[in-house]
Amino acid sequence: MAVVAKWMCDRDNAMFDNKKDADAYDKMLELAENLTELLQKHIPSANEKEAEDFGILLARNKELLVQACKGKVEALEEVSAEPSNVTTLAANG
Amino acid sequence: MAVVAKWMCDRDNAMFDNKKDADAYDKMLELAENLTELLQKHIPSANEKEAEDFGILLARNKELLVQACKGKVEALEEVSAEPSNVTTLAANG
């Protein structure tokens, strides 16, 4: 039988078929963690789970966030909780 | 005596010497309001004042936010509450 390379993101053990997707996912989680950290620093009232989910939500929708910052503010209305093009193995298993 | 044109942002009556600064300020507040709205939708636990301040903080630092979304995540560490280059009349009165 053959052996096949898999790529695991060590932030949450998500598995990927290729390095490119794994890197993109890892980068997204890094952005999410930093956004959550910034948010918790400035909004002590926000509970941890919601702050984490919001960091991930923004990171998953970073293209829309960039568009909004560049002037197309209505892009924020398209921000949604569905995973963007970065899918983990489990999602497409 | 001469009469001088002033530009007022009708979101909070901030006054400006020129239209360009007034427009930039108005755009920043629009982005801030939309970010706050998105945040309150996803973080019901966040109190209103903190959510508003955080929306303004992100909007004032939108260039850093864009850099972070484009991969330079450490740019978020530079996000600060000091007003960015957009200053109102009162600030430089």
Q: Which residues of B touch A46 (CB under 8 A)?
A: 43, 45-46, 50
- Positions in chain B whose pLDDT score sits under 70: 83-93
Give the per-residue pLDDT at B81.
80
Q: Which residues of A touch B62 (CB under 8 A)?
A: 69
Q: Which of A4-8, A47-51, A87-91, B20-24 has the lowest mean pLDDT?
A: A87-91
Tens digit of each residue's pLDDT (9 = 90 or more) over A52-76 = 999 999 999 999 999 999 999 999 9
User: Is the pLDDT assigned to residue A87 strictly greater than 90?
Assistant: no
Distance from CA of A10 to the nearest CA of B (A): 18
Q: Under 8 Å CB-to-CB from A90, ≥6 apart: which residues?
A: A14, A15
Cβ A34–B79 below 8 Å, yes or no?
no
Give the per-residue pLDDT at A31.
97
Mean pLDDT of chain A: 88
| Mutate which: A30, A37, A43, vs B, most B CBs within 10 A | A43
Of A63, A51, A81, A72, the C-alpha closest to A24 is A63
B7-78: CATH class: mainly alpha
pLDDT confidence bin for A92, thresholds 50/70/90 = very low
Q: What are the extents of the domains in chain A?
A: 7-84
Fold (topology level) of A7-84? Arc Repressor Mutant, subunit A (1.10.10)
Q: Which residues of A touch B51 (CB under 8 A)?
A: 43
Give the per-residue pLDDT at B1.
86
* HEC-encoded secondary structure of chain A: CCCCCCEEECCCCEEECCHHHHHHHHHHHHHHHHHHHHHHHHCCCCCHHHHHHHHHHHHHCHHHHHHHHCCCHHHHHHCCCCCCCCCCHHHHC
Give the per-residue pLDDT at A89.
54
> Chain A to chain B, count of Cβ pairs less than 8 Å apart?
78
Q: Which residues of B touch A53 (CB under 8 A)?
A: 42
